[in-house]
Amino acid sequence: MPRWFWLILALTATAPFWDLGHPLLEVDDARYAEVPREMALGGDWATPRLNDLDYVEKPPLWYWLCAASYKAFGVSEAAARLPLALYALLTLLGTAWLGSWLYGPRQGWTAAALLGTSIQFFALAHYITPDMGLTVWLLWCTALMLRCLQRPEDAAWAAPAAWACAGLAFLSKGLVGLVFPLAWAAALWLLCAEWRPRLRALLRPSGPALFLLLVAPWFILMERRHPGFLRFFFYEHHVLRFATQKFDRYNPWYFFLLVLPAGLLPWTPAVAAGLGRALGDWRRGDPRAAALAAWAVLVTVFFSGSRSKLLTYILPVFPQLALLAAAAFDEKPLWARRLGSALGALLLLAAAAALPVCRLVPEGELPFPEAPALAAAALAVLGSALLCWGRDVRPLLTGCAAGLLVGGLGLLGMRAAVEDLSVRSLAAAISSRRGPADLVYVFSTYPHGLPFYTGRRVDRMLQWEGELGYACRDEKVRAERFGDAGLISALPLADRRVFTVCRRRDARFVLGLVPARKVRQARAFGRWALVEY
């Protein structure tokens, strides 16, 4: 590999650590930083808590890692994101390791570079969700399963290690950590006759025993502490999340078929070429690419059938698709080059149109003033890279540079849009005026960064329940911590100030609940408003 490739690879490996300290973004980024903060400070490492209320929707592995980071380095945005960056790095290394022995060192390191510079992976390496943890452990699980199948002499250590990684995936996001590997093993049994006898190595008792040893203790402890927890966790937050629209995350069945091509940029044509090559390899008796493609199809079909869909859910297919792209990278067919050129031209046209179109939007409607320029720049960079890919002008160099540059622009954009994406400045305003007895209310929303930045809980959540439905089952908790707009109408309180946070569009309604003379001040902070009584 040329020297410039190793420079690009080094930049890609360090990219997850860029700007670790940028403000926590609403909603998930702030939520998954706050829960471990309360765990580290409160000392209870078993029951996750959010705003001092039981929050048991997700398993605890991320919370444990992030809380340990807080213990080691203190509470900060950078400490919150450090485990996420390490997860992303471990994903890149796992991709390189799998590709290196499955295809060759060049393909392995190329796949890592493609993965790290794809738009969606770069973004989720800087935005905290459980999906990066699920992705890294599922990647290592599938890599070790393939090790058992491709090199059966290593099954004695690879099979138990695969089960251990499945256990860590389970502790990252729940049942899919086990369902996906088992379903994939069944698919491989159907697709690859020569691997069928070797699949038995994965069924040796030591593997499932190790899985249960990792997973079972926390679930048993939680059921003892909170009777009914297992039903809530597995039925309501797995079965109902998949089968119903209860959690208000519905998107059409083709949602991920649109998300994937966009999220894989600038490598969408390369991935398409890799998927096409996988079918030919399978017909010729080479099961490697077919196994990777089967994983991507299985996970995509599963999430496409779910009634609950978010952009982040599809991340576990990215490493396998990057490996397929790397395996086919030097054999780009004519149609893939033309696809790259067409996508590049389309993005360049979009970039040319972005600035004048955005300028037509009324002032105040854009999330931040730099939006048009940043959007146009990002589209222009991606478009240029894809045009170069289509014309064979150092495609790996131009594509990786484009991915890193677009990611860097995104980080700059988040800094520029801090008022609209984070409540850090709003929380600072509360902290500067809040006394020991003063209260904080939120109305029809809950900015998760408030307790993180103020160091104190939100006292009342009005006309909002959100993901704290489990805590609301306790009528005493509901009466003490939740409420409706009537509590604002009863303000001000005689002996303390009350700070009420709402969405900016609800500010007029909130201000109308109390006579104007009783309002100390009202200020806007991006898309939020702060009213002080």
Instruction: Dump pLDDT digits (tens) for 380-418.
Output: 888 888 887 777 778 888 888 889 998 998 898 888 888
Q: What are the domain boundaries of the chain?
A: 3-17+88-331, 340-420, 423-532
pLDDT of res. 364: 46
Q: What is the mean pLDDT of residues 32-53?
A: 96
Alpha helices in 117-205, H assignment, sequence order: 119-124, 131-150, 155-173, 176-191
Q: Is the pLDDT of residue 372 over 80?
A: no
What's the token pair of residue 415?
């800094």
Query: 266-280, 382-396, 511-525: which range is least confident on average?
Result: 382-396
Question: 321 or 415, which is more confident?
Answer: 321
Residue 496 in contact with residue 474, Cβ under 8 Å? no
- Residue 146, pLDDT > 80, answer yes
Among 225-229, 378-382, 406-410, 453-457, the minimum mean pLDDT is found in: 378-382
pLDDT of residue 224: 95
pLDDT band at 363 (very low <50, low <70, confident <90, very high): very low
Q: Are 61 and 171 in contact (CB under 8 A)?
A: yes
**pLDDT score, position 374:** 73
Structure tokens at 428: 């600072």
How far is Cα 148 from Cα 160, in angstroms, rounded to an integer? 10
Query: What residue spans of 226-365 are helical by DSSP H?
Result: 229-230, 240-243, 255-263, 268-283, 288-305, 318-327, 334-359
Cα separation of 488 and 510, whole Å? 8
Q: What is the mean pLDDT of the chain?
A: 90
pLDDT of residue 484: 93
The pLDDT tens digits for 429-453 are 999 999 999 999 999 999 999 999 9
Buried b (16+ CB within 10 A) or exposed e, 184-206: bbebbeeebeebeebbebbeeee
| Residue pair 407/121 in contact by the 8 Å Cβ criterion | no
Which pLDDT band holds residue 338 (cuts at 50, 70, 90)?
confident
Average pLDDT over residues 20-42: 95
| 71-130 pLDDT tens trace | 999 999 999 999 999 999 999 999 999 999 999 999 999 999 999 999 999 999 999 999
